[in-house]
C-alpha cells in the first residue's frame, strides 16, 4: 500500500468510526420517549436533546467549508446549544442528520493532498489529521453521555447496543468458533 492509499484508508477508517458512533446514538435515542430526550439527571447536567444540539452544532460548524474557513463559524451559537430549545424529536433529528451530512460529505470529498493541509479552529492552526481526530474524540465523548442517559431513561426496556453484560464468551464463540480462547491470554511457555 503506497502512502496515498494509506492516507485514504485512514480517512475511510475515521469515517467508519464516526458512522459507528452515530449509529450508537441513533439506536439509543430510538429506545426512549420524547420526554426522556429533554430530561436531565439534575440541574447541573445536560439532557440528551441538549447534548445532541451541541454535537450537531459542533459538527456543522467544524465540517462545513472544512478546508476553507475557520471551524468555529461566526453564526454558531455555542452557548445556545446548551439551552434546551424543547424542539420536538423530528426537529432535533433533522438538525442532527444535517450536521452528520456535513461531516460525511466532507470526509468523502477529501483526497490525499487535503490530508497535508492545515485548517483553522478558533483561529488556531490544526493539521487535517489533528482536526479529524479532535472532532472524533469530542463526538465520541458526547456519544458516551447520550448512550448512558438513554440507558438510564429506558430502564428495563433497554436493548443493549453492544455485547450484553455476561455475553462475551457467547459472542466470542459465535465470532471465532468453539476454540479455547482463554489460553490465548496465557504467556508463551519459556
Dump pLDDT digits (tens) for 100-135: 999 999 999 999 999 999 999 999 999 999 999 999
* Cβ within 8 Å of residue 95, ≥6 positions away: 52, 53, 56, 87
Specify the 3-state DSSP secondary structure of 104.
Answer: helix
Q: Looking at residue 190, what is its pLDDT?
A: 60
Q: Which of 117, 186, 153, 169 is nearest to 29 (CA)?
A: 153
**Positive or negative CA dihedral for 182, 185, 186, 190?**
positive
With cell 482536526, the residue in question is: 131
Predicted structure pTM score: 0.90
The chain-wide mean pLDDT, for the chain, equals 93
Give the residues of the chain that fall short of pLDDT 70: 178-190
Q: Where are the beta strands (DSSP E) in the chain?
A: 118-121, 124-127
Amino acid 153: pLDDT:
98
- 31: which 3 cell numbers? 429506545
For the chain, domains (ranges, CATH) are: 3-163 (1.20.120.450)
pLDDT at 175: 84
Which residue's entry shows cell 447520550?
146
Q: At what angle do helices 128-154 and 3-29 cross, to 10 degrees?
A: 20
Q: What is the pLDDT of residue 172?
A: 86
Amino acid at each position: 500500500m503506497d502512502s496515498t492509499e494509506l492516507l485514504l484508508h485512514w480517512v475511510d477508517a475515521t469515517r467508519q468510526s464516526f458512522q459507528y458512533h452515530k449509529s450508537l446514538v441513533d439506536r439509543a435515542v430510538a429506545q426512549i420517549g420524547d420526554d426522556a430526550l429533554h430530561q436531565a439527571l439534575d440541574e447541573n447536567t445536560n439532557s440528551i436533546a441538549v447534548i445532541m444540539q451541541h454535537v450537531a452544532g459542533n459538527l456543522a460548524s467544524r465540517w462545513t467549508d472544512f478546508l476553507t474557513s475557520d471551524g468555529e463559524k461566526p453564526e454558531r451559537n455555542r452557548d445556545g446549544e446548551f439551552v434546551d430549545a424543547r424542539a420536538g424529536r423530528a426537529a432535533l433529528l433533522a438538525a442532527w442528520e444535517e450536521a452528520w451530512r456535513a461531516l460525511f460529505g466532507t470526509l468523502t470529498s477529501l483526497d490525499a493532498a487535503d490530508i497535508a493541509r492545515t485548517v483553522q479552529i478558533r483561529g488556531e492552526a490544526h493539521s487535517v489529521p489533528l482536526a479529524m481526530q479532535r472532532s472524533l474524540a469530542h463526538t465520541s465523548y458526547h456519544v458516551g453521555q447520550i448512550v448512558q442517559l438513554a440507558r438510564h431513561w429506558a430502564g428495563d426496556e433497554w436493548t443493549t447496543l453492544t455485547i450484553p453484560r455476561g455475553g462475551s464468551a457467547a459472542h466470542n464463540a459465535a465470532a471465532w468458533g468453539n476454540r479455547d480462547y482463554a489460553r490465548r491470554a496465557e504467556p508463551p511457555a519459556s
